[in-house]
Amino acid sequence: MVPERPARKAALALLAAATCVAAMASPASAAGREAACTRPEPTGDLTVDVAFEGRTYPVLVHVPPALPRTGRVPLVLNLHGSSGNGPGQMDYSGLRVVAGEGGFIVAAPSGAIELPQNPMPPAGSWAWNVPGVPTTAGQLPPPDARDDVAYLGHVIDELAARLCTDTRRTYATGHSGGARMSSALACRLSGRIAAIAAGAGLRAGRPDPDDVSVPELQDCLPERPVPVLAWHGQQDTVNPYPGNGDLRWGYAVPVAAQSWARLNGCRSGPEATTVTAHVTRLTYTGCRQGADVVLYRISNGAHVWPGVTEPGTEIDASRILWDFFARFRRSAEPAHQPAEEPALRR
């Protein structure tokens, strides 16, 4: 279960369901539907209980206190690395502060494949079910593992209905295993994700089992171009920048970026720009629907999320990702089923 902060242990009575008016027949009513949505009153860190395939999973959500209660706002899915959990990723990424500055909601769900750890963290030690990819335990997810592509799509729907998030401005980011999961969402859920930002784990499909130095082309066939941002340290020993022979990781980070540039139909790049003494930005442009691909190569970087929680790093990944995400929204909103009455608690 998601741990609750000591000052917020008391359960809140449900104040109100999100008043999301049903879709009207005329496309011209889109602006009206935006204004008609009203969030429940609680703000700060909330727990949203999400039912999926017969089980209920707690999702830590941060709603900035200054966020207007009416109108839809962007959503950022913030996915933890292997052996992590949602609350830990929320703390590590520092995205609460950026959400307040940028006016968006952050959701930090947890995976459902338990990984051994001693001592076990209060919120558990979890891995994501990245399709066709072994976990850090070295084994493929069991056949009955939760389908995390479907689950995270359901989380998007639930938060849109309960907290008035905007399904046209829904983004995914993550660290390590969470970056691999975000990459899988871009491959398989491109109709729902406006852009991704992958920290220390960008992929463009699983490694080809016959040649792990390249991605398996059939494993990443997005329906639409997806803007991609990534950062990766060249001193990363967990997910090595030049790649390795592991089916969990495989091909090099530049190959992943080049693959997304191909998938997005980019005509230019990579253009290299010096950002700091140790950071170079590599950018692919001229892409279909403006879906640029950007990679921050960090020459002295390890397996970290650069920013305020990692002293000595030269870039702030959380602010960079929001500056990138804010440029993009999907052009059409897919239909989604209204959620049941919300279960919000602090």
**With pLDDT > 90 as the criterion, what percentage of the chain qualifies?**
83
Digit-coded pLDDT (tens) for 309-344: 998 899 999 999 999 999 999 976 443 333 333 344
Q: Whose CA is closest to 31, among 139, 168, 155? A: 168
Q: What pLDDT score does 138 carry?
A: 86
Q: What domains, with CATH codes, occur in the chain?
A: 36-231+307-345 (3.40.50.1820)
CB 79 within 8 A of CB 109: yes
What's the whole-model pTM score? 0.88
Cβ–Cβ under 8 Å, residues 11 and 46: no
CA distance 26 to 259: 39
Q: Which of 228, 244, 337, 230 is nearest to 292 (CA)?
A: 228
Query: Residue 238 burial by CB count (10 A; 0-12/13-18/19+): exposed, middle or buried?
Result: middle
**226-276 confidence digits (pLDDT tens):** 999 999 999 999 999 999 999 999 999 999 999 999 999 999 999 999 999
Q: State pLDDT tens for residues 25-51.
A: 233 344 444 557 999 999 999 999 999
Question: Tokens 């860190």 map to which residue?
Answer: 45
Could you give the residue ranges of the DSSP H alpha helices within the chain?
A: 30-36, 86-93, 95-102, 148-163, 177-188, 253-263, 317-325
* Residue in the block written with tokens 């494949």: 113
Q: What is the mean pLDDT of residues 58-62?
A: 98
Q: Is the peptide bond before 306 cis (omega within 30 degrees of 0)?
A: no
The tokens describing 261, both together, are 């540039």
User: Rounded to an integer, what distance in angstroms lies between the CA atom of residue 268 and that of residue 286?
Assistant: 6
